[in-house]
């Protein structure tokens, strides 16, 4: 079985039923006091549509058309097709169209700068790129530097002259399924991840991985045809898409919300009768704070049907979940742990029946095995700390074009996660620390080396180290410990201005002027800095998923 089989089945069985809804909130709607007033504003708005929708038949037909468009351009089995798009109604049909053509889909982080886009396109041997209007400026800067990308499709109106209009071309393509036979061992997708070096690795998954994610998610959360899933996180990431796969298995509706304000989330739940919502920590925090301050009144919304809130992609403070359950005591709650190398969430999960174990990442997920091992690869006793290893059909095939890195993390089918963990007497797993220095802020990975290299361009800086410090809203923030050259002075404001060319999410949130400690081999002693400045991740037991 392959993941596209679910789409074709749903088109046959539920063709006229709603599959995907896109909601695009506006500031005008945001001025409404209640969701009912927002509906009145929408009915009078003749601008961009607030709501768009595809049925399962629409979804499948569009996927087929894009697949046939690719085949008309000479794509072959295994051709790499990258997607650089924001969440929108067109995203998933294009994603599935790439798979139906026998190609390998390569979703890309929409926060990438031009040089990162270029690097990843080259790393993954991408031949065709599909991108949206939000990326025109970034693509203009590199379009003549990526000769291996022979075709660029534009999703929108008035694309650059070096692109072709995707929507117009698809009108002339067949809506019948392309004559491409797929099997579970075929290569399906490349996702990007990175370690502490900051250079992305291309993670190659087979169709087997995607099906594993779908079946695991469906088993964990029991989606039915009547469930409605509210999807807010970016679809380029394994997490959001693999959680949606549970709705794909069930044939249920999914709502793509293009915005994360608390008001917008509650309106979407109300208007679309959402029953399942997956949140990141900052969004849950913002929603709780808005209610606590009185800015939002839950009585203004219709929320009784909302049955499950699950959360992941970064450390989850137990205090946040305790607050949530006081406000929504009828909600089921779950958290999931996973990596892009293990096709997103679910290789470890808490389980909705285990709310009493909040703080743990949980137990092995459906169809997954878990082991905690010492540095020699031997299993440790319960209660002892070791590295978390996972095994299942969702483990990646390899790091594409990087056999050395692959050999470091794959052993006899086991994936070495790089996370340190321990298991309690009941078999529940708790994360203790991470071997990697990646900072997870608001669900996004920050790579300290990238920020350090940028700061070192400043003539006043002798040395710099970037570490993560705990933050109640974002999980962690990036803090730069800056050692100045002798006899010079510098302020935090100066460095903030200096970092203006960095993407906003990569800018250090805190600057500390101090000496940067290094060990005899020249490596920065980041554990020393974390302990000194409160960055010890043991301050509060957290979960990552």
Residue 320 covered by a domain: no
- Is 78 exposed, middle or buried (CB count within 10 Å of its CB: 0-12, 13-18, 19+)? exposed
Task: Tell how far CA 317 is from the center of its chain.
Answer: 19
What's this model's pTM, rounded to 2 decimal places?
A: 0.83
**Residue 438: pLDDT above 80?**
no
pLDDT at 216: 96
Query: Which of 419, 434, 449 is where one domain is finished?
Result: 434
Counted domains in the chain: 3
Residues 6+ apart with CB under 8 A from 204: 104, 187, 189, 190, 396, 397, 398, 399, 400
Query: Which of 257, 288, 317 is where one domain is finished?
Result: 257
**Across 30-44, 372-386, 410-424, least confident range:** 30-44
**Residue 43: pLDDT above 60?**
no
pLDDT at 520: 47
Task: Tell how far CA 62 is from the center of its chain.
Answer: 24
Residue 457 covered by a domain: yes
**Residue 286: pLDDT above 60?**
yes
Q: Which residue has the higher pLDDT, 55 or 292?
A: 55
pLDDT single digits (tens) 74-102: 999 999 999 999 999 999 999 999 999 99
> Are 248 and 187 part of one and the same domain?
yes
Whole-angstrom CA distances from 533 to 317, 407, 442, 479, 527 are 20, 35, 20, 9, 10
**Across 94-98, 187-191, 318-322, 514-518, least confident range:** 318-322
Residue 203 covered by a domain: yes
Cα–Cα distance between 95 and 67 in angstroms, integer?
9
Handedness of CA 259, 264, 268, 269 (dihedral sign): positive
Tell me the CA end-to-end span of the chain in Å, nearest whole number. 27
DSSP state of 251: T
- Helix, strand counts (H, E) of the chain: 17, 27
**Residue 47: pLDDT above 60?**
no
DSSP structure string for 359-419: TB-BEEPTTEEEEEE-TTSPBPPTTS-EEEEEEETTS-SEETT-HHHHHHHEETTEEEEEE
Average pLDDT over residues 256-271: 95
Classify 228 as helix, strand or coil. strand
Average pLDDT over residues 190-212: 84
**Residue 186: pLDDT above 70?**
yes
> Are 136 and 205 part of one and the same domain?
yes
Residues 6+ apart with CB under 8 A from 105: 81, 83, 95, 98, 99, 188, 189, 190
Query: Which of 434, 456, 488 is where one domain is finished?
Result: 434
Classify 59 as helix, strand or coil. helix
Cα–Cα distance between 8 and 492 in angstroms, integer?
56
Average pLDDT over residues 146-169: 97
> Are 464 and 488 part of one and the same domain?
yes
| Mean per-residue pLDDT of the chain | 89
Cα–Cα distance between 327 and 172 in angstroms, integer?
52
Whole-angstrom CA distances from 466 to 114, 282, 488, 522, 524 are 23, 22, 21, 16, 10
- Extract the tokens encoding 509: 């949130």
Cα–Cα distance between 534 and 514 in angstroms, integer?
15
> Are 412 and 489 part of one and the same domain?
no
**Residue 421: pLDDT above 90?**
no
Angle at 61 between CA 191 and CA 192, to 5 degrees: 5
What CATH number is attached to the domain comprising 424?
Answer: 2.30.38.10
**Across 18-32, 284-298, 450-464, least confident range:** 18-32
> Are 393 and 521 part of one and the same domain?
no
pLDDT at 463: 87
Whole-angstrom CA distances from 165 to 137, 156, 157, 158, 168 are 17, 7, 8, 8, 6
> Are 21 and 167 part of one and the same domain?
yes
> Are 112 and 181 part of one and the same domain?
yes
> Are 497 and 395 part of one and the same domain?
no
> Are 428 and 505 part of one and the same domain?
no
Average pLDDT over residues 341-353: 92
pLDDT at 48: 55
Residue 178 covered by a domain: yes
Residue 463 covered by a domain: yes
> Are 378 and 505 part of one and the same domain?
no
**Residue 120: pLDDT above 80?**
yes
- Extract the tokens encoding 226: 């009547």
Cα–Cα distance between 86 and 200 in angstroms, integer?
20
Q: How many CB atoms are closer than 10 A to CB 17?
A: 15
Residue 128 covered by a domain: yes
- Extract the tokens encoding 183: 């099997």
**Across 206-210, 433-437, 503-507, least confident range:** 433-437
Domain containing 489 equals 439-533
How much of the chain, in percent, has pLDDT values that exceed 70?
Answer: 91
Residue 184 covered by a domain: yes
- Extract the tokens encoding 468: 């993560």
Residue 333 covered by a domain: no
> Are 86 and 197 part of one and the same domain?
yes
**Residue 11: pLDDT above 80?**
yes
Cα–Cα distance between 233 and 91 in angstroms, integer?
13
pLDDT at 37: 57
> Are 411 and 452 part of one and the same domain?
no
What CATH number is attached to the domain comprising 474?
Answer: 3.30.300.30
What CATH number is attached to the domain comprising 70?
Answer: 3.40.50.12780
- Extract the tokens encoding 424: 């309690």
């Amino acid at each position: 079985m392959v993941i596209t089989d679910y789409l074709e089945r749903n088109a046959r069985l539920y063709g006229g039923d709603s599959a995907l809804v896109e909601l695009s909130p506006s500031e005008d709607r945001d001025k409404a006091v209640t969701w009912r007033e927002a509906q009145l504003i929408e009915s009078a708005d003749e601008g961009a549509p607030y709501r768009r929708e595809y049925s399962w038949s629409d979804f499948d037909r569009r996927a087929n058309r894009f697949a046939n468009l690719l085949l008309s351009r000479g794509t072959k089995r295994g051709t790499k097709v990258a997607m650089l798009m924001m969440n929108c109604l067109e995203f998933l049909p294009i994603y599935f169209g790439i798979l139906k053509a026998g190609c390998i889909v390569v979703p890309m982080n929409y926060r990438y700068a031009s040089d990162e886009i270029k690097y990843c396109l080259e790393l993954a041997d991408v031949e065709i790129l599909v991108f949206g209007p939000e990326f025109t400026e970034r693509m203009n800067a590199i379009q003549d530097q990526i000769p291996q990308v022979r075709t660029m499709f534009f999703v929108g109106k008035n694309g650059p002259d070096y692109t072709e209009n995707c929507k117009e071309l698809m009108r002339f393509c067949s809506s019948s399924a392309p004559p491409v036979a797929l099997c579970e061992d075929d290569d399906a997708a490349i996702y990007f991840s990175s370690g502490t070096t900051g250079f992305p690795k291309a993670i190659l998954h087979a169709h087997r991985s995607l099906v594993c994610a779908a079946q695991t998610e469906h088993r964990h959360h029991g989606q039915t045809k009547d469930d409605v899933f509210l999807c807010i996180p970016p679809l380029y990431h394994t997490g959001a898409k693999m959680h949606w796969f549970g709705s794909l298995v069930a044939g249920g509706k999914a709502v793509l919300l293009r915005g994360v304000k608390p008001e917008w989330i509650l309106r979407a739940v109300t208007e679309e009768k959402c029953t399942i919502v997956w949140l990141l920590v900052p969004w849950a925090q913002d929603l709780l704070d808005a209610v606590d301050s009185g800015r939002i009144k839950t009585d203004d919304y219709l929320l009784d049907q909302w049955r499950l809130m699950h959360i992941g992609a970064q450390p989850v403070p137990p205090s946040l979940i305790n607050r949530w359950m006081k406000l929504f005591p009828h909600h089921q709650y779950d958290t999931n742990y996973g990596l892009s190398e293990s096709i997103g969430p679910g290789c470890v999960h808490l389980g909705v029946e285990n709310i009493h174990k909040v703080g743990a990442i949980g137990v092995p997920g459906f169809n997954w095995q878990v082991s905690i091992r010492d540095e020699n690869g031997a299993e440790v006793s319960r209660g002892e700390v070791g590295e978390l290893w996972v095994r299942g059909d969702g483990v990646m095939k390899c790091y594409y074009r990087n056999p050395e890195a692959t050999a470091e993390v794959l052993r006899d089918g086991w994936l070495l996660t790089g996370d340190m963990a321990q298991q309690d007497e009941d078999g529940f797993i708790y994360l203790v620390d991470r071997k990697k220095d990646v900072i997870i802020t608001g669900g996004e990975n920050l790579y300290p080396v990238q920020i350090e290299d940028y700061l070192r361009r400043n003539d006043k800086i002798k040395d710099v180290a970037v570490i993560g410090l705990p933050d109640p809203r974002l999980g962690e923030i990036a803090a730069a410990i800056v050692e100045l050259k002798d006899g010079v002075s510098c302020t935090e404001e100066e460095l903030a201005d200096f970092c203006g060319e960095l993407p906003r999410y990569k800018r250090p949130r805190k600057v500390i002027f101090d000496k940067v400690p290094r060990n005899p081999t020249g490596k920065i002693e980041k554990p020393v800095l974390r302990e000194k400045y409160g960055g010890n991740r043991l301050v509060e037991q957290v979960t990552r998923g």
